């Protein structure tokens, strides 16, 4: 048999008519002209922020809603419009967007301030300066710019959970020391109870306005997907039922439009690779694929010790139906470490790592009491067992375990 060369493959690929007309319409970076079912939220946010165009500091705003409900899209859309107008009319306005979930970028007080100071051209090292000094740098740069700044802190709950709420208090207090500028904060959070956990002094200095985004229902999701599908795919390249199925899947997951769009994109890519039109079967395959991609991505980013702990958990659970407990996982982990010459952490630290694996969804760990036999975590796998076994094999190879 003559082997097909990569050259032939690419030739064929270029000749073939693609399912996609504009695949970008199904990506996160795509910015639609209008945002369906979010008129109220757009108007409310625009009303709150509008004073900035007259150089009056607007109220701080908190935006709540489940993932994929259009929060970030709406905020970016409103601020784009404001920036267009401010450029046209020479209004001194600047918006800065920071995602507090981005590790090593904006996930600590120091890093956020350093990023902000850099936005104004100040050269701040990634570590080394006292936080106070970075505050001073940012203050003076901001004041010198004589601009009104709207600071968007996306996933603000992640920041506060990690670093406490002091940073929010300090950011709101900056205004007191500014002569020529001011700063307003737009906080975006997936956690609707986020503000309840803030200290009263922070709450009073921060939360002046709130906008709440409710989840999309299946009908709304379908219409959103319909619009994107028309932009993304060529005519007759997909089955009408595909969009409905993607919408239904996403509606089950608290109306997450982001997930629905990703599902449609992956289903399209799978169909394209199979040289077929996009039908319902590819949506099922895409759902499985997305699930696996998420898990693999999480595992790839785990530290060595977290991988060791996860491997120990899979090893214990793979051959039984009953859950595991912290103590036995620690024992198994210790043996694994000593067998492989790896430094063993304390049980205290292991407990934290189990908590982290739980919050990542890799395992389900519930605290239970076994009465006289103590209090512990009851641990089950958060992923499919067969898939966990495959992961355990790949971890074994990755870590070169004996």
Binding site for DNA (CB under 7 A): 103-104, 107-111, 125-131, 303, 305, 325-328, 330, 344-349, 351-352, 354-355, 367, 369-377
Toward DNA, which CB reaches closer, 90 or 127?
Answer: 127
Toward DNA, which CB reaches closer, 210 or 328?
Answer: 328
29 token code pair: 């970076």
Distance of closest approach, residue 352 Cβ to DNA, in angstroms: 7
Distance of closest approach, residue 103 Cβ to DNA, in angstroms: 6
Toward DNA, which CB reaches closer, 166 or 177?
Answer: 166
Distance of closest approach, residue 375 Cβ to DNA, in angstroms: 4
Toward DNA, which CB reaches closer, 108 or 253?
Answer: 108
Q: How many CA atoms, within 13 angstroms, populate the side-chain half-sphere of residue 146?
A: 3
- Nearest-CA neighbor of 101 among 61, 139, 72? 72
Residue 42's region, left for phi above 0, alpha for psi from -120 to 50, else beta, is alpha
Task: Compute the distance between CA of residue 169 and CA of residue 46 in angstroms, rounded to an integer.
Answer: 24
Toward DNA, which CB reaches closer, 33 or 123?
Answer: 123
- Nearest-CA neighbor of 70 among 271, 341, 261? 261
Distance of closest approach, residue 106 Cβ to DNA, in angstroms: 10
Toward DNA, which CB reaches closer, 265 or 307?
Answer: 307
Distance of closest approach, residue 222 Cβ to DNA, in angstroms: 40
Task: Compute the distance between CA of residue 382 and CA of residue 131 in angstroms, rounded to an integer.
Answer: 39
Distance of closest approach, residue 329 Cβ to DNA, in angstroms: 8
Task: Compute the distance between CA of residue 47 and CA of residue 209 in angstroms, rounded to an integer.
Answer: 11
Q: Is the dihedral of CA 49, 51, 54, 57 positive or negative?
A: negative
Place of tokens 């404001």: 82
Taking each helix axis as running N to C, give the angle between helix 326-340 and helix 347-359, from 0 to 180 degrees, rounded to the nearest 10: 110
19 token code pair: 């399912």
């Amino acid at each position: 048999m003559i082997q097909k060369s990569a050259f032939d493959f690419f030739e064929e690929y270029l000749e073939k008519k693609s399912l996609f007309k504009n695949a970008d319409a199904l990506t996160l970076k795509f910015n639609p002209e209008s945002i369906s079912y979010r008129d109220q939220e757009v108007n409310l946010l625009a009303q709150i922020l509008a004073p900035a165009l007259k150089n009056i500091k607007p109220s701080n705003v908190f935006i709540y809603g489940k993932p994929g409900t259009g929060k970030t899209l709406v905020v970016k859309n409103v601020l784009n419009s404001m920036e267009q107008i401010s450029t046209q009319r020479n209004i001194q306005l600047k918006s800065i967007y920071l995602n507090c979930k981005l590790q090593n970028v904006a996930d600590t007080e120091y890093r956020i301030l350093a990023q902000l100071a850099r936005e104004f051209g100040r050269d701040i090292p990634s570590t080394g300066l006292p936080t106070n000094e970075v505050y001073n740098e940012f203050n003076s740069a901001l004041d010198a710019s004589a601009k009104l700044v709207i600071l968007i802190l996306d996933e603000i709950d992640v920041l506060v959970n990690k670093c406490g709420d002091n940073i929010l208090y300090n950011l709101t207090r900056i205004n007191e020391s500014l002569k020529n500028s001011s700063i307003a904060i737009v906080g975006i959070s997936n956690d609707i109870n986020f503000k309840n956990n803030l200290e009263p002094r922070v709450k009073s200095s921060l939360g002046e306005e709130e906008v709440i985004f409710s989840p999309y229902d299946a009908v709304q999701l379908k219409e959103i997907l319909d619009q994107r599908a028309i932009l993304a795919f060529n005519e007759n390249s997909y089955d009408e039922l595909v969009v409905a199925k993607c919408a239904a899947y996403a509606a089950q997951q608290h109306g997450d439009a982001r997930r629905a769009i990703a599902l449609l994109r992956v289903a399209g890519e799978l169909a394209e690779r199979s040289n077929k039109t996009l039908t319902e079967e590819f949506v099922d395959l895409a759902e499985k694929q997305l699930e696996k991609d998420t898990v693999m991505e999480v595992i790839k980013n785990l530290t060595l010790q977290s991988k060791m702990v996860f491997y120990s958990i899979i090893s214990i659970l793979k051959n039984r139906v009953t859950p595991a407990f912290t103590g036995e996982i620690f024992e198994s982990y210790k043996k694994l470490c000593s067998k492989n010459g790896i430094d063993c952490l304390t049980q205290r630290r292991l407990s934290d790592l189990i908590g982290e694996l739980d919050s990542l969804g890799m395992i389900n760990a519930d605290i239970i009491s076994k009465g006289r036999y103590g209090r512990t975590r009851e641990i089950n796998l958060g992923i499919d067992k067969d898939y966990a076994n495959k992961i355990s094999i790949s971890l074994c190879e990755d870590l070169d375990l004996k």
